[in-house]
A and B are shown apart, each in its own frame.
Chain A
Amino acid sequence: MTDRGAGSVLALAAAAYFVQAFSFRAGFMADPIGPGAFPVGIGALLLALALVLVVRGSEAPKLDRPFLVRAAVLLTGLGGFTLALDVVGFVIASTVVMTLTAIVFEGPLVRGLIASFSVSLALFILFVYGFAVPLPMGSLFQPS
């Protein structure tokens, strides 16, 4: 993606943000400019600068194919983590996403798996019992 591409996406987003800001009407004695004024200002500036980016343009940074494949695997893993977290619980979801990341970073499979499981379990114990931060146990394993 080039500056021109990024500028176009940004301009669209800024335009949407700007237009939406006009729908926030409240404005009363104690708040004369209301909740819309600040976003309107930001949206207008952002739109203007995005258009400058579009007009100016520049070269696109290179992305190579092997990286894109690995990034896709990583993002799929992250997506899977968010979907699975509440269902299978933190320890399993974390072990899977860590192992997957380790593989993407060309780590050894078995050692990666063992390390991921140990770290996930240790973090779970540390957060839940050490810091009293509840982590998902997994709805699969809860008696309903």
Chain B
Amino acid sequence: MATGWWLAFTPLNVFLSAAGALTGTVVGMLPGLGPINAIAILIPVCFSVGLPPESVLILLTAVYYGSQYGNSISTILLNVPGTPSATVTALDGYALTRKGRAASALAMSAVASFVGGMLSLVGLVLLAPLLARMAIRFGPAEYFALMVFALSTLSGLSGGSFLKAAVATLLGLAFSTVGFDPNSAVARYTFGEIRLLDGVDFVVLTIGLFALSEVMFALESESDKSLDRETRVGFVLEIHEWLSNLGTMVRGSLVGFAIGVLPGAGGTVASFIAYATEKRLHPDGEIGRGDLRGVAAPEAANNAAATGAMIPLLTLGVPGSGTTAVLLGALLGLDVAPGPLFLTEHAEVFWALAASMVVGNVVLLFLNLPLVGAFASILLVPPWFLYPLVLVLSLLAAYSVNGSTFDVVLAVGFGVLGYVLRKLDFPLAPVVLGFVLGGLMETSLRRAMALSGGGWEILFSSWTAITIWGLAVVATVGAFLRGSKVDAIDR
């Protein structure tokens, strides 16, 4: 153990971490590239340079953490979430930016990510084998219930009309069914268009809904007078604010870690549920209108989930997300096969990995906190330069997903849709979550049905599933009651 642990702290490895975190931050700021691409590009480079296994892991995790943070930067400052999990951060992060507190939101995001990363590491080290055994028991019926729960908590998130949030969620689910159905080889809603067979890409959808509609909104509010350009860059080290949000961060980390352990659910569900939990615990109505807690909870949860996802990866060899899948590839390339025996046979790699996460988290915090002011000053750029830049970065992101102009057309279409929806007070985050979870939700449902031979009772056949269903009902009724007040005011 000790050797693996200390290996992470050699000068070379600390340098690699810093370089990785910086590179990751830059790549993460550009939506469309994302951590998976950054890591995938780096893997062959690592092998060709001949870095030892632990250095490769350290570099890759640093890039991953860095890109998560970089993604938060573009989410908070420009309302351009590049990954599904950042969609939640956009709710309060961007609201804070509009209030003139961009730098505080960025700092909060860095601190919360750090707390989430570190706490979940403790969990990883202590609970890995135990949790891996529990995750196996999570069958398709439980997954389906979990997805329904995640979607129902979300209807309460927007703070607006329940009806509109529900419609938005269903729209997202509907978009998720577009494309080739792998189970039955049926092409659904492709209208004979070959380029739709792969379905709609997440980046294309979010770039359109969020970034492009944002440009149209900015255009509408003319020279963007609602933003106070001078004050919103001010940065104060608000340590008392971080401390007062410690509870939020700890809760977020716990939720994130627990959900991260479940393969497939990952950071997105984790950050949404952590956010919804905070919203319920603090019914003062500030969360959703630019509250630091609304940034702290999802950011901590997201990072904790990333660590949690390591558990099924390392102990079962099951990658729970795209990024862990790439990491699995890297491990196999290093002749390290994850599986039930991993913790005993490759203890030194496990400890090197844990240590590399510590180094990555610490480096990221100390690298990014001083730079927060510099990042926030992006907002001082005049609108006539900022918005064309956002626009072209968005188009570029949509294009680079598949190298296809068709995706750019789709993104523009989603941009118009996003603008119309926002104009009519439909929340956008549920569309994205419905879209992201739709695939897993349908697969789980169909797998459960396959197990039962078509009997629906399987969905309620375990206590775990029944408990989750109960939570989902409570969440839906709660959201409905809250939302109907808003509906009443609407009319």
Asked whether B3 is an interface residue with its Cβ less than 8 Å from the other chain, the reply is: no
Asked whether B322 is an interface residue with its Cβ less than 8 Å from the other chain, the reply is: no
Asked whether B244 is an interface residue with its Cβ less than 8 Å from the other chain, the reply is: no
Given contacts A35-B188, A127-B396, is CB(A98)–CB(B391) below 8 Å?
A: yes
| Inter-chain contact B395/A31, CB cutoff 8 Å | no
Chain B residues closer than 8 Å to A30, beta-carbon distance = 450
Give me the interface of A with B, judged by CB distance under 8 Å.
1, 3, 6, 10, 14, 17, 20-21, 24, 26-27, 30-35, 37-39, 42-43, 45-46, 49-50, 52-53, 56, 58, 61, 63, 67, 70-71, 74-75, 78-79, 81-82, 85-86, 90, 94, 97-99, 101-108, 112, 115-116, 119-120, 123, 127, 131-136
Give me the interface of B with A, judged by CB distance under 8 Å.
27, 33, 37, 41, 163, 166-167, 170-171, 173-174, 177, 181, 183-186, 188-189, 212, 215-216, 218-220, 223, 382-385, 387-389, 391-393, 395-396, 399-400, 403, 405, 408-409, 412, 415-416, 420, 423-424, 441-442, 445-446, 449-450, 453-454, 487, 490-491
| Inter-chain contact A17/B396, CB cutoff 8 Å | no
Given contacts A26-B184, A94-B395, A102-B388, is CB(A10)–CB(B412) below 8 Å?
A: no
Chain A residues closer than 8 Å to B41, beta-carbon distance = 131-132
A50 to B409, CA, bound (A): 26
Instruction: Kindly provide the distance from the CB of A44 to the nearest chain B CB, expressed in whole angstroms.
Output: 10
Chain A residues closer than 8 Å to B442, beta-carbon distance = 38
| Inter-chain contact A75/B446, CB cutoff 8 Å | no
Given contacts A1-B420, A135-B399, is CB(A101)–CB(B387) below 8 Å?
A: yes
Q: Contact partner of B216 among A10, A74, A94, A132, CB < 8 A?
A: A74
A104 to B386, CA, bound (A): 12
A97 to B387, CA, bound (A): 11
Chain B residues closer than 8 Å to A135, beta-carbon distance = 396, 399-400
Chain B residues closer than 8 Å to A94, beta-carbon distance = 392, 395-396
Instruction: Kindly provide the distance from the CB of A127 to the nearest chain B CB, expressed in whole angstroms.
Output: 7
| Inter-chain contact B383/A105, CB cutoff 8 Å | yes
Chain A residues closer than 8 Å to B212, beta-carbon distance = 78
A82 to B391, CA, bound (A): 13
Chain B residues closer than 8 Å to A106, beta-carbon distance = 223, 384
| Inter-chain contact A49/B170, CB cutoff 8 Å | yes
Contacts beyond the supplied A67-B220, A79-B412, A105-B383: 12 A-B pairs with Cβ under 8 Å: A42-B173, A58-B490, A63-B423, A74-B215, A75-B412, A85-B405, A86-B405, A97-B392, A102-B384, A102-B388, A105-B388, A127-B400
| Inter-chain contact B400/A133, CB cutoff 8 Å | yes
Instruction: Kindly provide the distance from the CB of A124 to the nearest chain B CB, expressed in whole angstroms.
Output: 9
Chain B residues closer than 8 Å to A1, beta-carbon distance = 420, 423-424
| Inter-chain contact B405/A123, CB cutoff 8 Å | no
| Inter-chain contact A58/B491, CB cutoff 8 Å | yes
| Inter-chain contact A24/B188, CB cutoff 8 Å | yes
Chain B residues closer than 8 Å to A103, beta-carbon distance = 384
Instruction: Kindly provide the distance from the CB of A108 to the nearest chain B CB, expressed in whole angstroms.
Output: 7
Residue of B nearest to A27 (CB): B184
